[in-house]
Amino acid sequence: MADTHFGFQRLAEMHDIQLVQPLFTRSRLGTMRQRDMANGREVRTWTVQYQPEDSLAGHFEFGLKYERIHLEFFSRLFHSIDPESLAAWVRREPMGAYARRAAFFYEWLTGRTLPLPDTAHNVGYVDALDPDLYLVAQTPDRHRRWRVNNNLPGTSAFCPMVYLGPADARDWLYEVGTGVRHLDDTYGPDLLLRSAAWLTFKESRASFAIEREADKEDRVKRFAAAIEEFSGRMPDPMSPDSLQTLQRAVLGENALRVGIRRSPVFIGQSTFRAQIVHYIAPSEALVDEMLEGLRGLETRTRGANTVARIAAVSFGFVYLHPLADGNGRVHRFLVNHLLAADRVVPTGIIVPVSATIASNARARAAYDHVLEVISKPLMSRYADAYRFGSSRTCPDGVVTDFQFSQTDDAQHAWRYLDLSEHARYMSEVLRQTVEHEMAEEALTLRRYDEARDAIKDVVEMPDADADRIIRSLHEGHWVVSNKLRKALPEIFQEGGTLHTRQDRIVEVVRQAFEAPYAGKVEDIED
């Protein structure tokens, strides 16, 4: 016997709604209440006393009570139903919290007005989203018509969602500030600040490596300079002017395409046989209003959890792909910008997430996988909706032969992404970056300092010479190279008392780097 579904899944079946991102929750009838997970989705079993009326009102109220909010589903549902079925529910329950929330979502998502009077003024306000479960606007808009606090993170034009879960089930959510403060306590602020210069360059180089452009040294330096100059210092980073400033800083003044794109774009690759499309970005006709929605999200969520904000803003940006060029690098720049703007990390400290993403094949595959959370189901849904036809020149000068025929249908998915998995991914990337990339760089600097001090205890010399010795010995696995002997013959010569001094230098440097803990290098007796 087939499952008897409740809630949003039942409404999807009743109205033949096909989603790009599947519903997270499926509720069904059973003999006992339980919750299971299957393929990353929740299956909830309910006993007969929970079974709602088999109607829009019954199942939508059940979904609002017990299931995850899914704005793509809401949008498709409300664009397909007869609005009278919703209006009748509100007439029966004009003060009901669930009926009013449903009416609010309908008008917010469709831009249409239900033929109903406003809610009475003596009715209390209810939140559109549960602020204890979701990333929400920190200062909600009071929607007087339905007496609803509109705390949705974005706007109706673009509203990525992040489900955080109850506070007692957020062990996965990394506290970046706590991690960085631990590094500060362990290594000191001076060491962290000194490591920032190399980490900035490392972040830039790794960001280009993600896009197979790590050999473009001039671009790497430009991006590093942009990170240093603008992270945390842009009051309105999602404005077209700010994005163009970033774009020019990253690409250089001679970039061919700057500004907001006015042409279609897809992410893919070319082969000798065909063009392979991995993701189709929102139509150029939608970019301006969706970018304004993303701008609203960044503003409305200030003060909320920074990791959730980073996921919503940075991945929302990359899926929107609003720029003619440089989208990937700006996407990753936004991570450090938001960490600094939210005062999670001290000024001047860079958290090199790109270095973690590009660190090995597994890490790169994880990054690709999280992007496929959206791209894969979207391309599965619209595999037959695009083609390459006759060429045309777009308003931004781009010549393209790409055509996509399902913009009206796809906009439900483009506008209302669920980025909850992206928040979990970003949290783990930040954890790995702080506790490994940054910690290892700080430890390396400390060991360099200790090795330099130890060398000078043996023989006084300029820092530049000491650094040359350290680099050569470290790279040569504690063997004195001929190059080093030629560079510093007065120290590294065969035989005699100098040989004893040479051995001491090699030993103190080796000990500085191989000691289990970065403590003070012990004096070595002759």
Residue 522 is predicted with a pLDDT of 38
Radius of gyration of the chain (CA): 29
d(CA 506, CA 492): 10
Helix ranges restricted to H, 382-462: 407-415, 420-432, 439-458
Which helix H or strand E contains 501, and what residues bound it?
helix 496-514
Question: Which residues, including other chains, have CB under 8 Å from residue 40's CB and lie 6 or more apart?
Answer: 421
Measured between alpha carbons, how far is 24 from 41 in angstroms, rounded to an integer? 5
Residue holding tokens 């000024």? 347
User: What is the CB neighbour count within 10 angstroms for residue 48?
Assistant: 9
DSSP string for 505-525: HHHHHHHHHHSSS--PPPP--
Can you list the alpha helix ranges (DSSP code H) found in 237-282?
240-251
Angle subtended by helix axes 217-230 and 327-341, to nearest 10: 30
- For residue 26, the cross-strand partners are 43
Is residue 214 a contact partner of residue 220, using CB atoms and an 8 Å limit?
Answer: yes
CA distance 491 to 488: 6
For the record, the structure tokens of 497 come out as 């008392």
SS3 for 2?
A: coil
Place of tokens 């790409």: 402
Tell me how many helices (H) and strands (E) the chain has.
21, 11
CA dist 462 → 236, 465, 478, 489 (Å)? 46, 6, 21, 15
Within a 13 Å sphere around the CA of 412, how many CA atoms are in the beta-carbon half? 23
pLDDT of residue 2: 53
Q: Where are the alpha helices (DSSP H) in 326-399?
A: 327-341, 353-357, 361-381
- The per-residue pLDDT for range 97-116, each reduced to its tens digit, is 999 999 999 999 999 999 99
CA distances for 378 relative to 19, 278, 417, 491, angstroms: 9, 9, 11, 65
How do the pLDDT tens digits run along the chain, 526 residues long?
A: 357 899 999 999 999 999 999 999 999 999 999 999 988 899 999 999 999 999 999 999 999 999 999 999 999 999 999 999 999 999 999 999 999 999 999 999 999 999 999 999 999 999 999 999 999 999 999 999 999 999 999 999 999 999 999 999 999 999 999 999 999 998 888 888 878 777 777 777 777 677 655 456 677 778 788 888 899 999 999 999 999 998 888 877 766 778 899 999 999 876 666 788 999 999 999 999 999 999 999 999 999 999 999 999 999 999 999 998 889 889 989 999 999 999 999 878 889 888 888 888 999 999 999 999 999 999 999 999 999 999 999 999 999 999 999 999 999 999 999 999 999 999 999 999 999 988 888 888 899 899 999 999 998 999 899 989 999 999 999 999 989 988 888 888 765 555 688 889 999 999 998 876 544 333 333 3
Residue whose C-alpha is closest to residue 338's, from 286, 293, 294: 294
Q: What is the pLDDT of residue 215?
A: 52
Q: Which domains does the chain have, with CATH numbers?
A: 5-162 (no CATH), 176-266+282-367+407-436 (1.10.3290.10), 459-514 (no CATH)
Q: Are 311 and 426 in contact (CB under 8 A)?
A: yes
In contact, 208 and 226? CB cutoff 8 Å: no
Residue 260, phi then psi, degrees to nearest 5: -75, 135
Q: What φ, ψ does residue 138 adopt, rounded to 5°? A: -80, -20
Q: Report the candidate in 163, 119, 135 with the shortest Cα–Cα distance to residue 24.
A: 163
pLDDT of residue 221: 79
pLDDT at 472 (0 to 100)? 92
Strand order in the sheet with 148-150: 126-127, 148-150, 141-143
Show Cβ contacts of residue 212 under 8 Å, excluding neighbours closer than 6 positions: none
**Pairwise CA distance, residues 256 & 293, whole Å:** 27
Asked if 152 and 137 touch (Cβ cutoff 8 Å), the reply is yes
Please report where in the chains the tokens 């006709």 appear, as a residue: 285
The CB density around residue 484, as the number of other CB atoms within 10 Å, is 19
> Which residue, chain included where needed, has tokens 């109903």?
116
Residue type, 141: D
Among residues 135, 126, 133, the alpha carbon closest in space to that of 154 is found at 135
Q: Return the pLDDT at 206.
A: 76
Are the C-beta atoms of residues 305 and 173 closer than 8 Å to each other?
A: yes
Q: Which one, of 482, 484, 442, lies nearest residue 467 by Cα?
A: 484
